Structure formats: C-alpha cells, structure tokens
C-alpha cells in the first residue's frame, strides 16, 4: 500500500493555467494563511534534531521563493513523517473525542509491539505539491525489507481506522494559503520543487501517538 509516485511528484504543479488550492484546505488554513482549529490524532515518526536542521533550510528556501502562496510557517518542532492518520474534525465534539480515545488505545497497543524493532532506513526523494493542499518532502525506503515492514505497519493501522488509500511517505514542509495562483506565480515555486538527497533512519522508539489542535500544535501522548 506504499505510493512511491516518482513521475507524479516531479510534475505535481500544472504546466499551464491557473492553480486552485484544494477546497478542503479551508478546514485547516484561513484565507490569510493562519491555521484554524482542527482536532484529531495520528501516528507519526519523530525526527532527529539533525534532520530537522536540514528541513529548516528547505523551509527557508520555500518561504524565500514563494512565501506569499504559503500559510504561516510550520514550527520545525512539528516536522514528522506520518505513518497513519486516525480521527480528525473541525469541532471538538464528544463524539470526536470518543472516537479519538478508542483509536488511541488500539494504536498504542500496536506501537508497544513495534517499539524494539530495528529502525527503518529511508531516503528523501522530491519536494512536491500534495493534492493542492501542501508542499511536502517525499520519502522512500532504501531497501525492500524497510518497504515491507512499513507496509505491514500501515496495514495494521488501517484496521484501526480505515482511510481507504495507501501510504505516501512524506514530511509536510508548508501548507498553501488558500486561493488561486497564476502560472507566473507558480514558476517561482516550481524552481524549488526539486530532488532532495538525504538519508535518514526512522527509529521505532520514536514512533508515537500524537493529538493535535491545529496543524502547528501536536502533543505526544
């Protein structure tokens, strides 16, 4: 269930015409680029400080090239690779809280089983536009064993909260500011959406359950 779409990610912005952000982006970001309340939980790999420092430099390049198209910057402390999202919504209702709690208990039982496994070996691939919502840094396993283990873990979490689509390993670098952008505006962004060559290890002891209140505030539980 891994999606490693090299051709897609290298051509993720339209070559011609207007670019329109995803309507669902307005659940997370307002028209001024500020993050909106958005509640839920997720299972993510926390990243080493050295990786975060490299990502901070990429983030600065994105902001310099096309900051007017992007939301308020993400805090580097939030950088992570999502293994599997669980439950989310725009309002913190009793029903949402109950479903989050149920998913958390099941997810944590799986995390406990995986905590002592060897790390996953990954490499970065390309900065790309993900479904007209965000700019992300793609990741791919460096070997078949890592790919199989990653797929097995994703499949197990899919039984907790079925998403119905495969895993596209990535690190979110920035969300778009909602709106429409011309081909001329896109060119500056396209110039920085390029291959990135980094290697990293995802430590299973840093695979955690987190709750969030917006896309810039995560808490490990």
Return the CATH number at 114.
3.90.1140.10
Query: Residue 124 in contact with residue 197, Cβ under 8 Å?
Result: yes
Instruction: Determine, yes or no, domain membership for 16.
Output: no
Conformational region of residue 132, where left means phi above 0, alpha means psi within -120 to 50, and beta covers everything else: left
Please give the C-alpha separations between residue 189 and each of 8, 85, 90, 101, in angstroms, as whole numbers: 16, 28, 29, 39
The C-alpha angle 179, 132, 19, rounded to 5 degrees, equals 50
Report the number of distinct structural domains present in the chain. Answer: 1
Instruction: Determine, yes or no, domain membership for 44.
Output: yes
State the pLDDT at residue 170: 95
Looking up tokens 């479904």, which residue turns up?
131
Instruction: Determine, yes or no, domain membership for 40.
Output: yes
Instruction: Determine, yes or no, domain membership for 74.
Output: yes
The per-residue pLDDT for range 31-82, each reduced to its tens digit, is 999 999 999 999 999 999 999 999 999 999 999 999 999 999 999 999 999 9
What is the Cα–Cα distance from 190 to 186, expressed in whole angstroms?
A: 6
Instruction: Determine, yes or no, domain membership for 162.
Output: yes
- φ/ψ (deg, to 5) at 60: -65, -40
Average pLDDT over the chain reads 92
Give me the mean pLDDT over the 154-170 stretch.
Answer: 94
State the pLDDT at residue 7: 55
End-to-end Cα separation, the chain, in angstroms: 27
Maximum separation of any 2 CA atoms in the chain, in Å: 50
Residue (of 17, 9, 127) closest to 66 by Cα position: 127
What is the Cα–Cα distance from 91 to 209, expressed in whole angstroms?
A: 20
Instruction: Determine, yes or no, domain membership for 72.
Output: yes
Give me the mean pLDDT over the 101-129 stretch.
Answer: 95
What residues make up the domain containing 103? 35-215
- Copy the structure tokens of residue 200: 């990293």
Conformational region of residue 170, where left means phi above 0, alpha means psi within -120 to 50, and beta covers everything else: beta
Instruction: Determine, yes or no, domain membership for 194.
Output: yes
Instruction: Determine, yes or no, domain membership for 25.
Output: no
Model confidence at 188, pLDDT cuts 50, 70, 90, reads confident
Give me the mean pLDDT over the 143-163 stretch.
Answer: 96
């Amino acid at each position: 269930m891994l999606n490693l779409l090299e051709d897609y990610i290298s051509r993720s912005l339209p070559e011609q015409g207007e670019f329109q952000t995803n309507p669902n982006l307005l659940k997370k970001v307002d028209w001024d680029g500020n993050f909106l309340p958005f509640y839920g939980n997720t299972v993510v790999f926390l990243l080493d400080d050295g990786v975060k420092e490299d990502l901070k430099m990429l983030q600065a390049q994105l902001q310099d090239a096309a900051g007017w198209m992007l939301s308020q910057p993400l805090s580097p402390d939030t950088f992570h690779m999502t293994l599997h999202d669980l439950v989310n919504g725009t309002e913190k209702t009793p029903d949402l809280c109950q479903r989050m709690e149920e998913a958390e208990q099941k997810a944590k039982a799986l995390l406990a089983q995986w905590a002592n496994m060897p790390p996953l070996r990954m490499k970065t691939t390309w900065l790309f536009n993900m479904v007209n919502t965000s700019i992300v840094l793609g990741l791919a396993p460096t070997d078949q064993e890592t790919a199989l283990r990653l797929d097995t873990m994703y499949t197990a979490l899919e039984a907790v909260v079925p998403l119905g689509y495969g895993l596209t390993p990535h690190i979110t670098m920035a969300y778009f500011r909602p709106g429409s952008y011309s081909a001329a505006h896109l060119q500056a962004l396209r110039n920085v959406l390029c291959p990135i060559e980094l290697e990293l290890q995802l430590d299973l002891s840093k695979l955690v359950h987190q709750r969030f209140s917006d896309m810039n505030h995560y808490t490990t539980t």
